[in-house]
Structure 1
Amino acid sequence: MDNASENTNGPVSDYPNSVVLTALQQLLERKFPSQLFTYELLPATKKGENYIGILYRIAVKLDVRTGSSYSSLILKIPPRSPTRRKQFFIRPCFLRESLAYQEFLPMVKRFQNSKDISKEYGFHEYAECFHISTDEFDEAIFLEDLALQEFALFDRFDDLRFEHVAMVMHAYAKLHAVSFAIKDQEPEALDKFRKIQDIFEQRKDDPNLNNYFEGLKKTTQACMDAESDRYQRVLMRFFERPFFDIFLELINGNKYEPYAVVCHGDCWSNNIMFKYKDGKVIALRLLDWQLLRYSSPVTDLMYFLFTCTSKEFRRVYYDEVLNLYYEELVKHIYRLGSNPSKLFPREKFNEELNRRGAVALLFAMIVLPIITIKSEDVPNLEELSERVETGEFINLKESGLLCKGNVDTYGKRMRDVVIDCIDSGYIK
């Protein structure tokens, strides 16, 4: 039995509609059969932590004979504003994340179980999904609340420690290793994922987004005004082609087979939760699979390392964390019964870094404005969507994503990324 209570502070369009609430009611009845319960919807994130999905914590109070107890889960829904859904490409992102939870991650679990891989050694760094609805305008994803297990988001304005980065490298290594092993042993199982069209490729003919990305190039070049002529010349040469042409070539997995895998795709700190014990990191979970893509494993690594670590960190630890990644990749491919020296030898990994490393700069151009902006400075996304919809040219400053509060931090980090990519030989 049930008795539902809803917190409705805020715009009505941001709250679950009746179809989603009915699905929630049915889910809770399945999870807590023959029990009386009430629930409350509470915001699960702060402003600026999510741009595509709206997250709620469903706080459940159970009335049992021995006394009250509490539980919770997470509900993720898209905004219902048609303009925002269009400009932020909401529905394709939700369908992509649904594909991850309904098909890809269950396949990973099944394959690892077939090899008797224990939880200690397998890839399990994701939240359990309880229910998904993909009907248009009624989309919803119900997930376990990782906070119940003491997982927490890292403050994106703090510096990640070596132990954080090392654990992320291990998680991505295991994730990518499963794809390599499945391709080796059950190649047809990955056929569907080889054929998925990248979310960004679906937007390549959008003139407003093309204008925005071309504006990112100009903003990045402006960050280099005080640097040497060499860096400016290399960057100008790299930017001669349209942004989309450069980007889509670098993330196209099918173009560079056989060294492509199913990637997480959205590898920044707000999509990773860490768990601690006695001040040490002991576990993590990867969130937000809405940019799941078939690409080189290097795309995940470059995205994370160049948007979530500092130049100072990379100067000291860059080679070491890449070595940790590759060593764990080799170990897990072996655990899964395949030969890593055949599937992804170290020299090929190094070649992929050199061929694909430039994608680090492009991801940084897209993500660093979001990473560096403070919650109180995040622009109104509904208003931003309306401005883009009317064809108004939007660059970083006009969008509000680059403002007084983050312009200096963004400028420094962007310059550092450009310099590191050039010094590493990724951009020539």
Structure 2
Amino acid sequence: MDNATDNYPSSSVLRALQQLLEIKFPSQSFTYKLLPATKKGENYIGIVYRVAVKVNNKTGPCQWSLILKIPPRSPNRRKQFFVRPCFLRESLAYEEFLPMVKGFQNSKGISKEHSFHEYAECFQCLTDEFDEAIFLEDLGLQDFSLFDRFDELRFEHVATVMRAYAKLHAVSFAIKDQDYSGGLEKFRKIQDIFEQRKGDPNLNYYFEGLKRSAVACMKAEDVMPKKVLIRFFERPFFDIFLDLIDGNKCEPYAVVCHGDCWNNNIMFKFEDAKLISLCLLDWQLLRYSSPLTDLMYFLFTCTSKEFRGLYYNDVLNVYYAELVLHINRLGSNPSKLFSREIFEKELHRIGAVGLIFAMIVLPIITIKGDDVPNLEELSEQVEKGKSRDLKESGLLSEANVATYGKRMRDVVIDCINFGYIK
């Protein structure tokens, strides 16, 4: 870890943990220890521990565990990684949005099998500044695991992700349509994390550097694609990005989105080598936007050009079929709320957001854990205005430059071929 003191739970968090365990195991003695739950490069905003609990009961000792997610307390890292707003956003997801989703589906008599339930149970959230914490069930106890982001996702993985997002978005559409519990008005008003950061000059410099890095990935023979890309980049990065994700501009087709749809935020469960379930993690970028922002984020950062060439339309069809099915289950009319015609129009209107997310996330996805820069040092460099592009930040080096370059170029070519940038 970067700094053992700053990254260890505060006394307030430890007291809350003790109280939670006393409630979980009344009249029983227990001990616990904190173990790192993620590897280097798997988590950037939060620090994740597995709390290994040994319980002594009448039949003998037993083992249990939960996940404890806390922010770093380093001021620079909190500022540069926008830690507090992200933790407040995730707490909002676990304390208000996901309970609303569950309550609405229960009110319709939807079984768990057919509901959107692909998220971890949250035991408690703490939101006091510098003492933020989220206590979650340990999905490892149910044999969920991360898929190695350096391996190729198969069709079954992507189709299962598409179905999960379809159910999530369908619930939002139906809640809005039926004005359940006041609808989504509270979530419509939340300001996107990126909107909150648009005035940060260092981040603006960094994002403008992402544009230059993307252009540099194009080959000599990519004369026309490079011209198209440069024309697309004529406006400032934030102007392009925020236009695409602005929930108000997406109305009446905006929903509450997961927001951070990459490999390390999805855990899969297999049974006899067959994929049977998944769970979505990290709701820190929860946003109110077009449902297609989630799809484009995932498909352009987590799948290869080869996969998209074979299955792109197929997985979009899987998504839309499940969306229709779940909206119908919930008692609303999918043709009225998000017809296939509108779906296709929205796909072409904001599909370019896949390119934007790829620019931000591909450097992280393609870097090996051991090569990830020290986050404390990176935060200090950014604070001093000395990490204005991928190479200065350490996210692009000899170790991943070729992989990043190929995948970034592939995304540009696909976005042009699909008609998303012109």
TM-score (norm 1): 0.97
1:376-423 deviations in whole A, cap 9, x for unaligned?
100001001111111224210111000111111000000000000000
Partner of 2:345: 351
Report the Cα distance in structure 2 between the residues aligned to 1:228 and 1:366, rounded to whole angstroms.
Answer: 22
What SS does the aligned partner of 1:275 have? Answer: strand
Q: Which amino acid aligns with 1:338?
A: S
Report whether the alignment pairs 1:33 with 2:1.
no
Instruction: Give the alignment partner of residue 129 of structure 2, picking from 133, 136, 145.
Output: 136
Partner of 1:53: 46
Q: Which amino acid aligns with 1:422?
A: I
Partner of 1:18: 11
Report the Cα distance in structure 2 between the residues aligned to 1:156 and 1:133, rounded to whole angstroms.
Answer: 31
Report whether the alignment pairs 1:158 with 2:151.
yes
What SS does the aligned partner of 2:256 have? Answer: strand
Partner of 1:174: 167
Instruction: Give the alignment partner of residue 82 of structure 1, picking from 72, 75, 85.
Output: 75
Q: Which runs of 5+ in 2 are unaligned?
A: none
1:67-119 deviations in whole A, cap 9, x for unaligned?
11000000000000011100110000000000000000000000000000000
Q: Which amino acid aligns with 2:33?
A: E
Partner of 1:422: 416
Correspondence 1:265-414 to 2 at 5 A: 265-414=259-408
TM-score (norm 2): 0.99
Report whether the alignment pairs 1:229 with 2:223.
yes
Instruction: Give the alignment partner of residue 219 of structure 1, picking from 213, 224, 246.
Output: 213
What SS does the aligned partner of 1:200 have? Answer: helix
Report the Cα distance in structure 1 between the residues aligned to 2:169 and 2:188, rounded to whole angstroms.
Answer: 14
Cα deviation for residue 9 of structure 1 reads 11
Report the Cα distance in structure 2 between the residues aligned to 1:417 and 1:53, rounded to whole angstroms.
Answer: 28
Report the Cα distance in structure 2 between the residues aligned to 1:226 and 1:359, rounded to whole angstroms.
Answer: 25
Correspondence 1:84-99 to 2 at 5 A: 84-99=77-92
Report the Cα distance in structure 2 between the residues aligned to 1:286 and 1:252, rounded to whole angstroms.
Answer: 23
Partner of 2:236: 242
**Is contact 2:386–2:392 with CA below 8 Å preserved after alignment?**
no
Report whether the alignment pairs 1:258 with 2:252.
yes
Q: Does 416-425 or 392-401 show the bigger shift?
A: 392-401
Cα deviation for residue 10 of structure 1 reads 6.3
Cα deviation for residue 189 of structure 1 reads 2.2
Q: Which amino acid aligns with 1:94?
A: F
**Is contact 2:208–2:237 with CA below 8 Å preserved after alignment?**
yes
Q: Which amino acid aligns with 1:78?
A: P
Aligned length: 421
Q: Which runs of 5+ in 1 are unaligned?
A: 1-7
Report the Cα distance in structure 2 between the residues aligned to 1:200 and 1:49, rounded to whole angstroms.
Answer: 21
Q: Does 27-36 or 183-192 show the bigger shift?
A: 183-192
Report the Cα distance in structure 1 between the residues aligned to 2:27 and 2:2, rounded to whole angstroms.
Answer: 30
**Is contact 2:208–2:236 with CA below 8 Å preserved after alignment?**
yes
Q: Which amino acid aligns with 2:145?
A: A
1:283-337 deviations in whole A, cap 9, x for unaligned?
0000000000000000000000000000000000000000000000000000000
Report the Cα distance in structure 2 between the residues aligned to 1:402 and 1:306, rounded to whole angstroms.
Answer: 19
1:243-292 deviations in whole A, cap 9, x for unaligned?
00000000001112111100000000100000001111100000000000
What SS does the aligned partner of 1:320 have? Answer: helix
What SS does the aligned partner of 1:12 have? Answer: coil
